[in-house]
Amino acid sequence: MIYTTKSESETADLGRKIGEQLSGGEIITLSGDLGAGKTALTKGIALGLGVCETVVSPTFTLMNEYSGRLTLYHYDAYRLGGGREAYEAGITEYFGEKEGVCVIEWWENIADALAAYPKKHIAITVKDQNTRIIEIVDK
Ligand SMILES: Nc1ncnc2c1ncn2[C@@H]1O[C@H](COP(=O)(O)OP(=O)(O)O)[C@@H](O)[C@H]1O
Ligand SMILES: [Mg+2]
């Protein structure tokens, strides 16, 4: 499916709808340049999962955990150089967790650690300042 959003709140709203449909165990991989809207989409997914806390970018923490209807594990793998580093940081153990959902920014950096898991892949492309093309593919 391909969607076009015209603002950050439209992207969050799409994320909320995605989040509402999750049932646990999903891994959502996010692709897109810096500033594309990966974190904005994740904030919406969090709302759809019933997370009340404010979602902040896990740039320095690698992974933030939020409780909701399902636990949200929100990753930023920007600083990681491979699946082994993710494993050594202790953050791979939540992959596929049945009572949770993993949302992973910069997942390409740890693709080897994710190879065995089914993934919902979301690619965000910047069209212009406020327009984003958002493509969702199940793999
Ligand atoms: N349609 C849109 N969807 C999402 N973000 C948008 C959109 N239009 C403009 N923006 C802006 O783009 C930026 C996206 O930031 P962020 O979600 O942190 O990106 P990323 O996590 O991909 O680096 C925000 O400043 C947001 O206001
Ligand atoms: Mg981000």
Q: Which of 47, 46, 38 is nearest to 72 (CA)?
A: 46
Per-residue model confidence (pLDDT) at position 138: 83
CA of 38 to the centre of ligand 2 (A): 5
- Ligand 1 geometric centre to CA of 88 (Å): 30
* Average pLDDT value over all residues in the chain: 97
| Ligand in closest contact with the CA of 134 | 1
Confidence (pLDDT) at 59: 84
Return the pLDDT at 127.
98
Predicted pLDDT at 60: 85
Rounded Cα–Cα distance for residues 114 and 92 (Å): 9
Q: Whose CA is nearest to atom 8 of ligand 1?
A: 130
Helix axes 8-20, 38-48, angle to 10 degrees: 40
Please count the helices (runs of H) and the strands (runs of E) in the chain: 4, 7
Q: What is the DSSP letter of 60?
A: T
- Provide the 3-class DSSP secondary structure of residue 73: strand
Q: pLDDT tens digits, residue range 113-125? A: 999 999 999 999 9
The residues lining ligand 1, judged by C-beta closer than 6 Å to any ligand atom, are 5-8, 10-11, 32, 34-40, 105, 130-132
Q: Average pLDDT for consecutive 10-residue bins of the chain (139 residues)?
A: 98 98 98 97 98 93 96 97 96 96 97 96 98 93
